[in-house]
Copies of this chain bind each other. A is one copy, B any other.
Amino acid sequence: MQEQNVIINQVFKGEIFTAQDIDFVSSKLKKITFDKGDIVLNANEKVTHQYYVADGCLRTFFIDISGKEHTLQFAVKDWWISDYTAFFEQNTGILTIECIQKSTLYKIFRTDLEEVYAKVPQVEVHFRKKLEKAFASFQNRILGNLAKPAKERYLDFIKTYPDIEAKIKNYHIASYLGITTESLSRIRKELVRKL
C-alpha cells in the first residue's frame, strides 16, 4: 500500500527498505490520535511502547513529592517519545506523557520492536543513532544546568527549539528550565527591555 510506504519512509527517514520490510514494519506500527490535554501514559504504569510523533506536540514530565511538575522532554513532529528508562528496563515508569496539542502518533510495542530489530537491522541502527543523539542532548542539558544561569538556558532553549517554543506555553518552558513561571516572566521582561 502506498500509504504504508509513505509512513515508513517518514518514520525511518534515511534508511532503505525492501517492500517486504515495509510491510513487516508497518504491521507493527499502530496509529493513534489524541486530543489536547490527553494523557498517553501515566506515571507508575508499565511502559510497553514508544511513540513516534507524526503530528502534534507532547511532553514527558515528572511529578515530585511536593506535587510540582518537571518537564523532561518535549516532542514534536518526527520525534520519538516514551519513558525510555522504564521502557528499556521493561519497568513501570515515573514519567507522565501528555499531549500539549491534538496529536497523531504511531506506537510500537517493545517486544515487536525486538522482532523488527532481528528482521530489519536498519531499524536497530536507526534507533541506536537516535539513542546516541538523545544521550548527547541529555549531556548538554546537564552541562547547561551546571554552567549556565536561567537566562542563558532560556535563550539556548528558544534558539535550539524554535519549533517547540511556538507550540507550548511559557509555564512549560519554565518547568523544563527548572524555574518558576514568575522567574521566567521576569527574565523575558528583562530581555525585551534590552531590545
A135 touches B136 (CB 8 A): no
Expressed in whole angstroms, the Cα–Cα distance for A88 and B70 within the complex equals 29
B89 touches A136 (CB 8 A): yes
**For residues 59 through 89 of chain A, which have their beta carbon under 8 Å from a beta carbon of chain B?**
62, 64, 68, 70, 72, 84-85, 88-89
Whether A141 sits at the interface, judged by CB under 8 Å, is: yes
- Copy tally for this chain in the complex stands at 2
A88 touches B145 (CB 8 A): no
Using Cβ atoms and an 8 Å threshold, which residues of chain B touch A70?
143, 146-147
Chain A interface residue bracket vs B: 20 to 34
Secondary structure at the A interface, as helix, strand, loop or mixed, is: helix
Using Cβ atoms and an 8 Å threshold, which residues of chain B touch A191?
none
B178 touches A88 (CB 8 A): no
A88 touches B143 (CB 8 A): no
Given contacts A88-B132, A131-B132, contact A138 B142 (CB under 8 A): yes
Whether A128 sits at the interface, judged by CB under 8 Å, is: yes
B147 touches A68 (CB 8 A): yes
